[in-house]
């Protein structure tokens, strides 16, 4: 998928190509960004699935990529599933990637590798959300393998490389340390924009989210690109959504593209 900006300032998809298990719903411009819903028309991710995404945001274009429902990784008696995501944002482009949470079921094995190439002057808001499994069925923290990798280059410079490769019990122990129970949810947010340096107050407001059952940790990324990492642990999905909404309200002053609604179809 490639997005370009028209002469009137609106973003359109210059080209797109997809096949199962992907489907792109009809995108629409909301005045801030082009909202693109990526839908998995199957029940979820199964053993042997290989998902590949290639998204490019042209100069001046603005896109919000989201999904209408959680991504479920089903139980696997053998084998594993893999997702590879490559996002490229040209100078002056904006990409918000905010899908619904990943929900690994009991006995699942899933690896996700995300690579982001951001040109100098490009802007990014990336969210990776994780739920502990199907809470109502009592199979939380019961996946077999889960590995989430993220690599971010800005202007050709490597500014972030991280990997979550932990068992369910290990993440459960982290959730318990944060005072959260069986339903604890995690969020990994990365945002990059030169606008952040000239906007006051947002750092204090984000660190102020820490409390009332939510753990929040904010870190500056290396380099001069204006990159930040925000890690969240919330006691449940409702608290996570409420906190994410508050994050967007705090940052929208500096990043007006965040005025888009990721849940509006």
Q: pLDDT tens digit string along 178-193?
A: 777 888 999 999 999 9
Rounded CA-CA distance 237/121 in Å is: 34
Rounded CA-CA distance 192/91 in Å is: 12
pLDDT of residue 9: 94
The token pair that represents 175 in the structure block: 């959730």
DSSP, collapsed to helix, strand or coil, labels residue 138 as coil
pLDDT of residue 227: 95
Residues 6+ apart with CB under 8 A from 19: none
The band of 245, judged by pLDDT with boundaries at 50, 70 and 90, is very high
Mean pLDDT throughout 219-225? 90
pLDDT of residue 265: 46
Half-sphere exposure of 67 (CA within 13 A, CB side): 20
Rounded CA-CA distance 261/248 in Å is: 10
- What are the phi and psi torsion angles at 205 (to 5°)? -65, -40
- Angle, CA 237 vertex, CA 234 and CA 241 arms, to 5°: 85
pLDDT of residue 20: 82
Half-sphere exposure of 236 (CA within 13 A, CB side): 6
DSSP, collapsed to helix, strand or coil, labels residue 105 as coil
DSSP, collapsed to helix, strand or coil, labels residue 253 as coil
Rounded CA-CA distance 242/236 in Å is: 10
Residue ranges per domain, the chain? 2-259
DSSP sequence for 43-80: SSB-TT-EEEEEEEE-TT-EEEEE-SS-EEE---SS--
- Angle, CA 24 vertex, CA 232 and CA 151 arms, to 5°: 40
pTM as predicted:
0.95
pLDDT of residue 264: 58
* Average pLDDT of the chain to the nearest whole number: 93
DSSP, collapsed to helix, strand or coil, labels residue 194 as helix
By percentage, how much of the chain surpasses pLDDT 90? 79
Q: pLDDT tens digit string along 109-161?
A: 999 999 999 999 999 999 999 999 988 888 899 999 999 999 999 999 999 99
The band of 223, judged by pLDDT with boundaries at 50, 70 and 90, is confident
For residue 258, pLDDT over 50 is answered with yes
Mean pLDDT throughout 202-224? 94
């Amino acid at each position: 998928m490639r997005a370009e900006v028209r002469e009137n300032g609106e973003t359109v998809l210059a080209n797109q190509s997809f096949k199962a298990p992907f489907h792109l719903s009809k995108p629409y411009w909301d005045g801030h960004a082009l909202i693109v819903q990526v839908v998995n028309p199957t029940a979820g991710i199964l053993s042997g699935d290989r998902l590949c995404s290639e998204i490019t945001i042209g100069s001046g274009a603005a896109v919000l990529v989201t999904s209408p429902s959680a991504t479920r990784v089903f139980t696997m008696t053998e084998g594993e599933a893999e997702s590879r995501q490559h996002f490229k944002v040209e100078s002056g482009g904006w990409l918000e990637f905010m899908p619904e949470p990943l929900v690994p079921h009991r006995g699942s094995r899933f690896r996700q590798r995300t690579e982001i190439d951001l040109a100098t002057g490009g802007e990014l808001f990336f969210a990776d959300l994780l739920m502990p499994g199907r809470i109502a069925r009592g199979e939380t923290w019961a996946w077999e393998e889960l590995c989430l990798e993220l690599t971010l280059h800005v202007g050709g410079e490597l500014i972030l490389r991280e990997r979550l490769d932990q068992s369910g019990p290990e993440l459960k122990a982290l959730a318990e340390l944060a005072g959260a129970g069986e339903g604890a949810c995690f969020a990994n947010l990365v945002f990059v924009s030169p606008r952040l340096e000239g906007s006051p107050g947002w750092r204090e407001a984000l660190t102020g989210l820490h409390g009332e059952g939510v753990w929040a940790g904010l870190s500056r990324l290396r380099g001069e690109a204006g990159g930040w990492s925000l890690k969240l642990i919330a006691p449940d999905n409702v608290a996570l959504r409420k906190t994410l909404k508050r994050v967007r309200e705090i940052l929208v002053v500096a990043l007006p593209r965040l005025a888009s609604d990721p849940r509006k179809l």
